[in-house]
Structure 1
Amino acid sequence: MAGIKEIRTKIKSVQSTSKITKAMEMVAASKMRKAQDRMRAGRPYATKVREIAAHLMQANPEYSHPYMQERSEIKAVGVILVTTDKGLCGGLNTNISRLTLARLKEFEQQGIKVQFTAFGSKGAGMLTRIKANLVSQEVGLGDAPNLERLIGALKVQLDDFVEGKIDAVYVATSRFVNTMRQEPSFIRLLPLPSGLKDPFQAGADESAQEVKSQYGWDYIYEPDAQSVIDDLLLRYIEGVVYQAVAENMASEQSARMVAMKAASDNAKKVIGDLKLVYNKTRQAAITKEISEIVGGAAAV
């Protein structure tokens, strides 16, 4: 009977785990809808800022913002790694970390130095373990992105780019495609591409869509064109990073919901298998007891 008690204990344990994963699945589904709404709400803002900035630069071709200037030689780059603060979201963090490490290896083979900014504790922990050059980080972002918390860590990379310490800045994040699919993306943030291509349209600079204008634009500036373009491009950079974090949060909740559903389904399967073993073991024990009783009665 000891075997029956052990199986019964295992069944209760798996049932308890199944209740937890089912609850986490429902919570993730609720948060996923909110995260997707925030992600989609941020896209029109980034699109409009990108269009206006592109039009302003077309109207003022004589002014080249530092964010737009290509460097003749790439000696050092900055990478902003966006991950989650919590686990239990399938291979989301693993995929983006694997892509980031692959790009890091490519940079090192070319003799390019890399400095990192981490948004999310999982990425910060990974970079710390490999002893990467982590210049800034922001963890504990919660369920909703907060631009005020992102600006401080982001400014370290922007200042280094303007001062010439690094020659390019990249963003590594998980791009939300749909509930079942999240793609790891490595996007070039600085220098900004000509025409201000949409980095999230196709997930890569090479195939991103470029803002094109069919009309000539004549603006009235206050105080002047340079100040307006400077502020607008800074807001655009902040908007891209905010969108990257929002995309990652939507991907996180979707991946967690799918992972918890898979865990709940597996728990049901394990419970079914354990119950089958339990019934067979119990039946064998009862048959043995009956045989012993019959044998004892026959001996008497």
Structure 2
Amino acid sequence: MAGIKEIRTKIKSVQNTRKITKAMEMVAASKMRKAQDRMRAGRPYTEKVREIAMHMMMTNPDYTHPYLEERKEVKSVGIVLVTTDKGLCGGLNTNITRLVLNRLKEFNAKGISVQATAFGNKGVGFLTRLGVNLVSQQVNLGDKPNLELLIGALKVQLDDYINGKIDALYIATSDFVNTMRQVPTFVRLLPLPDGLPDPFNTEAGSIVADEGSKHEYSWDYIFEPGAKEVIDSLLHRYVEGVVYQAVAENMASEQSARMVAMKAASDNAKKVIGDLQLVYNKTRQAAITKEISEIVGGAAAV
């Protein structure tokens, strides 16, 4: 009967685990809707800032912001890695860190030095294990993207780009497509591409200017205090908006991936309980049959 007791204990343990994963699935489902709403709510702001900045740059072709200048030779780059603070979200963090690892290998093969900024505990741990130069970090981001928490760590990379310490800045995050699909994305943030396309909203009507349409616009802006100051401020806001959107995309991806992962864990736990229950019944039946045979054998001997 010792075997039966062990199986019964294991069944109870798996049942308790299933209760936890089921609760986590429900919590993630609730947070997922809010995270998706926040992600979608942030897109119009970044879209409008991008549109206005692009129009202003077209009306002032003589001024080129440092964010738009292509460096002749790339010797050093910066990477902003966006991950989650917590685990139990399937392969979300694994996919983005694998993509970053491949890019790091490519940079090392070309002799390009790398410095990194990490948003999220998982990214900090990953970059630390690899020995990457971690110049800034921000953890404990919570369930809502907060620009005030991001600006400090991001400013280190932006200042290094302005000062020429790095020649390009990339951002790596998980792009939210739908509840079942989150795509790891590694895009160049600086220098900004022509037309300022949105890397996280390409299907929602991003403003992309081609060579044939650059001179078709005729906006006439009155600048206060001046064109240079306004364009500088707008481009800086745009870069911050892209990073904010990247964190919002990652948070929506996190809750979706966690809900799916916890649902799969609950389903697997249910299957394991069924298999253990079958083994338990067979073992118990065999034990009862053995006891009956011993009783019958003893009675026959008497």
TM range (shorter): over 0.9
Q: Could you tell me how far apart the structure 2 residues matched to 1:47 and 1:177 are?
A: 18
Say if 2:196 is the partner of 1:172.
no
Say if 2:23 is the partner of 1:19.
no
| Structure 1 segments unaligned to the other structure (5+ residues) | none
Pairwise CA RMSD of aligned residues? 1.2
Which stretches of structure 1, 4 residues or more, deviate above 3 A after TM superposition? 211-215
Q: Could you tell me how far apart the structure 2 residues matched to 1:153 and 1:33 are?
A: 28
Which residue does 1:242 correspond to in 2?
244
Alpha-carbon deviations, 1:87-138, whole Å to 9, x = none?
0000000000000010000001001000000000000001111111000000
Does the 8 Å CA contact 2:74/2:167 hold for their aligned counterparts?
A: yes
Does the 8 Å CA contact 2:55/2:217 hold for their aligned counterparts?
A: no
Which residue does 1:210 correspond to in 2?
208
Which residue does 1:260 correspond to in 2?
262
Q: CA deviation at 1:198?
A: 1.4
Secondary structure of the structure 2 residue equivalent to 1:169:
strand
State how 1:69-218 maps to structure 2 within 5 Å: 69-202=69-202, 210-211=208-209, 214-218=216-220
Q: Could you tell me how far apart the structure 2 residues matched to 1:211 and 1:250 are?
A: 29
Count of residues in correspondence between the two structures: 296
State how 1:16-55 maps to structure 2 within 5 Å: 16-55=16-55
Secondary structure of the structure 1 residue equivalent to 2:189:
strand
Does the 8 Å CA contact 1:51/1:211 hold for their aligned counterparts?
A: no
Give the share of equivalent positions with the same residue, in percent: 78
Q: Tell me the amino acid that sits aligned with residue 280 of structure 1.
A: K
Q: Tell me the amino acid that sits aligned with residue 233 of structure 1.
A: L
Secondary structure of the structure 2 residue equivalent to 1:71:
coil
Q: Could you tell me how far apart the structure 2 residues matched to 1:75 and 1:201 are?
A: 30
Q: CA deviation at 1:201?
A: 3.0
Does the 8 Å CA contact 2:195/2:207 hold for their aligned counterparts?
A: no
Q: CA deviation at 1:215?
A: 3.2
Q: Tell me the amino acid that sits aligned with residue 35 of structure 2.
A: A
Q: Tell me the amino acid that sits aligned with residue 215 of structure 1.
A: Y
State how 1:280-299 maps to structure 2 within 5 Å: 280-299=282-301
Q: CA deviation at 1:210?
A: 1.2
